[in-house]
Amino acid sequence: MAKKIYLGMIGDIMHPGLINIIREGAKYGDLIVGLFTDKAIANHKRLPYLSYEQRKRVIENIKGVSEVVPQDDWSYIPNLKKYKPDYIIHGDDWKSGNEQELRQEVFEVMNEQGGRVIEVPYTKGIDSSSLDKEIKSIGTTPDIRLKSLRRLIKAKPIVRILEAHDGLCGLIIENLEIKKGLKNASFDGMWSSSLTDSTSKGKPDIEAVDLTTRMQDLNNILECTTKPIIFDGDTGGKIEHFVFTVRTLERNGISAIIIEDKVGLKKNSLFGTDAVQTQDSIEGFCNKIRAGKNALITKDFMIISRIESLIAGKPVSDALERAFAYVEAGADGVMIHSKNKSGEDIKEFCFAFREKHPLVPIVVVPTTYSQIYEEELCSWGVNIVIYANHMLRAAYPAMVKAATSILENERAAEAGEYCMPIKEILELIPGTK
Ligand code: SPV
Ligand code: MG
């Protein structure tokens, strides 16, 4: 009987290095490719451009590959135990860097099972990570970007979104990555906030900045990023206008719009009952959701209904009644908002909502209950956490400090400590030189 050899791969960007390792592996027997699923990848790297099925089609047609099976975990161990290969093959690049522990456990399990680990010299000058950087500089397509939010919701325990009001915020969210033990942490996408879009223009958050203006800013973000964007659609406006809004966003590759169930002059929710917050009737808001869904071209764009009951001082039972009706009307998810500092009302809502709808995505915006960790939100059943205003709030105090310092000192030297170095700003944007 032919020997079995296992090769794990993401297989998103094909290059000669991968063909080399497939060839080498096939010399030992039947080559099983363990193809990483979105779920296996999501906590470690960005999602592949191609879906699992698309990558599978490519890999299973490469000469030397006998079979493609899903690898659902970043660790090789579950599949090594399941398929019990005689060999596993891997590039020798995992001897250094943060894959060393993965390598260690693979050796242990292969030894236990009487198998062997084959390490092949890494093909110099070409690897998926540097190709990935180059692809990023080319950008993405509206279609791939649009779909990526639904994929992330499926693949990740919780999707982490940060507010972006300009291209610079977009670049930070796109590129910032920190190491946390064996994992990398990064943001999954961007929130186009009505509060920060308005504030950055010196306007109040009352739907005074029109869609055309907001699209101009969004376009700057779209040009320099590839991650998904969730658009804060305020009340969605008149139904007759809303249908055009969803189409514009969908056409531009935005993944979702969140609309809140309020009518009249919209005031920011964080005023709570200090401002008049008039909610739409359930029927009226359901009609808006239905009209939006009917206007869409794709099945991928999400219309998420935002429930303002807790903001308006009403009980969780009112929020639930509305949430159930909105989902019935076709909403692709719900956002529950509150300005309560404990987060208890949100938790109560999430548990009750989850009993009826185990899978409909829940979105939260923990601005006032910011002490709650993502892991806890996740345990309540939350799918998306939005940090809704932090880039603008972080920038403003630094700008005031720098301006104050110049006034106090009548020169700019002292303001330097609040500013990024000139060298850094010149190197920040590729092509500046
Ligand atoms: C926004 O960011 O504009 C929001 C969230 O809608 S909140 O400001 O909390 O209402
Ligand atoms: Mg808003």
205 flagged as catalytic: yes
Query: 195 in ligand 1 pocket by Cβ < 6 Å?
Result: yes
Does residue 213 share a domain with residue 99? no
Ligand located closest to 164 CA: 1
The catalytic residue among 205, 217, 232, 261 is: 205
Beta strands (DSSP E) in 105-158 are 116-120
Ligand located closest to 335 CA: 1
Query: 389 in ligand 1 pocket by Cβ < 6 Å?
Result: yes
Half-sphere exposure of 256 (CA within 13 A, CB side): 31
Nearest atom of ligand 1 to the alpha carbon of 197? 3
Does residue 200 share a domain with residue 106? no
Contact 308, 278 (CB under 8 A): no
> In which domain, by residue range, is 408 found?
394-428
Nearest atom of ligand 1 to the alpha carbon of 306? 6
H helix or E strand, kind and range, residue 216: helix 211-224
Between the alpha carbon of residue 427 and those of residues 174, 417, 430, the distances in Å are 17, 19, 7
Does residue 347 share a domain with residue 246? yes
Residue 134 included in any domain: no
Query: 365 in ligand 1 pocket by Cβ < 6 Å?
Result: yes
Does residue 147 share a domain with residue 92? no
Half-sphere exposure of 356 (CA within 13 A, CB side): 12
Q: Output the CA angle 25-27-31, nearest 5 degrees.
A: 45
CATH of the domain at 65: 3.40.50.620
Nearest residue by C-alpha to atom 2 in ligand 1: 193
In the prediction, which pLDDT does 26 show? 95
Residue 433 included in any domain: no
pLDDT digits (tens, 9 = 90+) for 250-276: 999 999 999 999 998 888 989 988 888
Our count of domains for the chain comes to: 3
Query: 243 in ligand 1 pocket by Cβ < 6 Å?
Result: no
Query: 193 in ligand 1 pocket by Cβ < 6 Å?
Result: yes
Query: 300 in ligand 1 pocket by Cβ < 6 Å?
Result: no
Does residue 330 share a domain with residue 254? yes
Q: What values do phi and psi take at 9, rounded to 5? A: -155, 160
* 366 DSSP assignment: -
* Tokens encoding 251: 């056409």
Residues 382-421: b if buried by 16+ CB within 10 A, e if exposed? bbbbbbbbbbbeebeeeeeebeebeeeeeeeeebeeeeee
Distance from the CA of 194 to the center of ligand 2, in angstroms? 4
H helix or E strand, kind and range, residue 24: helix 16-26
Closest CA to 175 of 298, 17, 46, 1: 46
Cα 212 to chain center, whole Å?
25
Residue 221 included in any domain: yes
Residue 30 included in any domain: yes
CATH of the domain at 379: 3.20.20.60
Tokens 């929130």 sit on residue? 191
Nearest residue by C-alpha to atom 7 in ligand 1: 269
Residue 148 included in any domain: yes
Q: What pairing do the DSSP bridges indicate for beta strands 189-192 and 159-163? A: parallel
Distance between CA 380 and CA 178 in Å, rounded?
26
Distance from the CA of 150 to the center of ligand 2, in angstroms? 22
In the prediction, which pLDDT does 340 show? 96
H helix or E strand, kind and range, residue 88: strand 87-91
Query: 367 in ligand 1 pocket by Cβ < 6 Å?
Result: yes
Residues recorded for the chain: 433
- Model's pTM, two decimal places? 0.90
Helices (H), 252-315: 282-295
Residues of the chain with pLDDT under 50: none
pLDDT digits (tens, 9 = 90+) for 332-350: 999 999 999 999 999 999 9
Contact 127, 97 (CB under 8 A): no
Does residue 165 share a domain with residue 94? no
Q: CB neighbours of 65 closer than 8 A, spacing ≥ 6?
A: 22, 26, 31, 33, 59
Does residue 311 share a domain with residue 273? yes
Residue 253 included in any domain: yes
Q: CB neighbours of 318 closer than 8 A, spacing ≥ 6?
A: 309
The two most distant CA atoms of the chain are separated, in Å, by 84
Final residue in a domain of this structure, among 76, 100, 129: 129
The SS3 of residue 32 is strand
Distance between CA 103 and CA 285 in Å, rounded?
54
Ligand located closest to 389 CA: 1
Distance from the CA of 212 to the center of ligand 1, in angstroms? 19
- The amino acid sitting at 430 is P
Does residue 202 share a domain with residue 76? no
